[in-house]
Each structure stands twice: as C-alpha cells, then as structure tokens.
Structure 1
C-alpha cells in the first residue's frame, strides 16, 4: 500500500484519472444488493478524491445506475453502469443510454429454463434494464468446469436464436462469479476508453495518468486501456487471474478504502505536460 501511495504522490493526485469498480473492490459483499451502502465516511472520501483529482473520479460497474445512487445517496458520481450501457458523465444532466434495451420478454422464459436445470429452486435472476445477471456461485453444480461449460453453451444458444430473430447481438460476460447477459460490445474497456477520450479532449497537452481498481476477471478488459496510457491497475483480493496482471495488489476492500482515504488528502503537484514513467511491475501487498 505504501508503494502505491508513493507512486500516486510522485505523479501528483491532480494528475490522476481515478477510476474504480464497486463490488468487492471498495464495497463488501451482501446477500441483498438493496441493502448495500457505502461504509461510514466513504462517500465523503470519494467526494474529496473527485476534488483532489480535479473532477476526474469515475465509477465503472456492471451494476445499474440506481444501485450506484443507493450506495452513494448524497452524491451523483460520474459513472458507467451495466457494462457501459448507461453512463452519467455530467451529474447535472440526465444519464445517457448507449445501446438499445434488449427485448427481454423474448428470452426471459428460456433463460429461466436453463436456471431450473442447474440452479437451486429458490435462485432468482437479477433483472436490470440492459442486463440479466446470473450468479453461478449460487449453483453448486457449476463448480464442475464441464457443467459450467454446458450451462454457458445453453445460454449462448439462446442468444444466437435471439440475434436471428431481432438482429440485436447479445453477449454473455463471465465476471468471475456471475454470468452477465448484455448487448454485444458491453465492456469496461469501452467505458475506460470513453473516459480517456473525454479527458484528453478536455485537457489537451496534459499528461494525465489513469488508474483502475478492480477485483474480478470482468475488470480485466479495462487494463489494456490503462496500460496504453502509462497507468496502473490495482487488484483487490486474491483471484490469481486478476492479481497476476496487477501493478499493485491490495488484500481486501478495507485496505482499498484506506488507500482512497489517504490519497484524498494528498497535496497537488506540478501539472504534468512531459512524458511520465509507467507504473512499476510486481506485487504491492499490504
């Protein structure tokens, strides 16, 4: 953690584009997503970070925008939600829908038939405007990789048939614990690239350094964008698929929130316009 904070301070908090995932990155898990709230003081920490980074604090999440608003009831943070299907870039303006909403009525029953085959009887698909989220960690049978592949293939066939019927292509994103069915092209990579494009247009000639905090394989498609601009990916938790590509590693959500808090009090440095040194490789645990 100290190495990460030093790296941020050396660059200057005012030269950072600060982007984070939410669940299991800065928020602890909860069986009922409607009960999730930011821990005491964390919303204020994020407001300070937004000020310290000069309005460059962003959230990228697979959750819906209403979830973000529930977690942070007092602040309309800039956010890309539902794997970049709905975005709020300007808190003073309505959110923007970036893709057509799928015609869920055509496939919900078919998805439910797959669920009845492999998931417990009481399992419920989480329905979002642009997504259907199916947590496969709730299905003991899917701990077997072959069974998991069968379930994925069954869902994929539903999506193929849907595309033939409507012309809209859907994709099944494996987020590490959940299958997220969403419009094709839904990704955190596109979300981060759009953020970079906006920042470069808004601040021409600036050397702004992107960082991204994430915990799951669903976060990894944002990493190439971060790397391409000399930034750093910070993993949270112990998933080896995630930690092995991280520039810095944090053990858990509490440690991540601690980094956010300490960084929010860092003093600005000189505005960077020259080339900067990319993040060092290797672990930073603790």
Structure 2
C-alpha cells in the first residue's frame, strides 16, 4: 500500500488534467494555434511573431523596416495551456514569451532584453491574428469581407469597419492602420493610415453568428491594424533597447461571449494604463 506522502508525490508527478472547456495552445512553424470546444471555427491561428520592426516605417520599403529574427519553442505545459518561446533578433536582442491559456482568454508576458553593448532599434512587433474561420469568411488575400464584423473604438465608442473616413492611399494597399496619440505617425505599418485616432488599445471582431467576440490588446501598444490576410493586429511596442536594458510587455487575447460592456470592464481592469494617461489615446 502506498503511504499518503508517496501518493502525494505520485499525484504531483502526473500530468495535470486539462480543465474542462479551457483553451489549448500549440506552436509550430511560426504559428501559434489556439483551440477550444466553443471556439468558432474550432481553432485560431496567430502568426507569432510576424515581424520585429524599426521606427520610421510608415513610408518606407517593408524590407528596410523588418529586423530578421528566429523564434523557437523553449517549453510547453503538459496540459496544453502554457508555452514558452524565445525570439532572437539579428541585432542580438532576445525576446522571451510566456503564453498562458484560460477558459476564455490567452495571456502573453513578453520580456525583451538587449544583452549587447549596442543600442537596438527594435521598436515594435506584430502578432498577426488570422480571423477567417472565426468570422466565417474565406481566407482570401486582400479580402474585405470580414470588415463589417470588425471594430475599433473612436471617441470612446465602438465603430464597425470600414470606419468613416477610410484611408485608401499608402505605399502598400489595402488595409487600415490606426495610430494612437503616444506613437509618432511616422513609425507605423506602411498601409493606409487613418485620420482617426483610436480611443482604446482594443481591436476585435464578431463571430459569423455574432455570438462571440475575439478581441486583443497590448501594453504598451504601437498601432491597431486591419491587414490583408483576413487578420487583425494590436501590435506591441518595445520602443528600442539601450545596451543591457530589459523591458516587459503584456497582452491579452479575449475569446468571449458577445457582451461588449462586460468585455470592456475586463479590458479596463487588465489595462488600467489605457484609461489613466490622456496621451495614450483614451
């Protein structure tokens, strides 16, 4: 017979039983996949990380903006609810990602460190959320079918896309970028830049039947972006790194019932900075 202390040891060594209804995570070939029993489309793909970027990007060839990097899987939890990734940039910066899934959200804790003796121009990065299956539209490049399902916040109110006005001219088209007050308008994606300034760091969309909402936010954030591969972005800000400097960034992906007021309550609790500083776009 096993004595109680040994029983405890055996239990603690066993893989954790997955919580019923919880989201699950996996990562391979630069794609973070989120799965869940109640998730529209059954799974959600995120190009994580699409790119690390230099400033001065709004009207410049994209190849000159991107800082080459490689990302690798460092570890994963036995229950499929946590991952650790590491991105190494060509300038020597190391970015560690801790990703944790709950029942209706995925949390990101990112630590960017410059171990070199040279300043880094890594100012922002792009997690690219593919929302075709969630919104129920075909994954067609340059598609705008999902725009009416998508929203940003302007003057404190949700606005479905396309917003009015809708920018159409840029170095690359189509797409739409919303630049917050705290970021230079010269430092965002070289897609059409809206005259509208977002009043929230939250961007999201409704599911095909409008029963669910997908939304995401980061602190600090660089821009909000509607892309060309049926994707939405809240791109996180690094702001450059001095030699030896380290910075932490955090983000949340919400996958919730279509109750916008309740979502906003959670967002404000998770990101109180977005409501306290007028220069952050609130």
What TM-score do the two structures reach when normalised by structure 2? 0.27
Q: Larger relative contact order (C-alpha < 8 A, sep ≥ 6)?
A: 1
Report which of the two has the higher share of strand. 2
What TM-score do the two structures reach when normalised by structure 1? 0.26
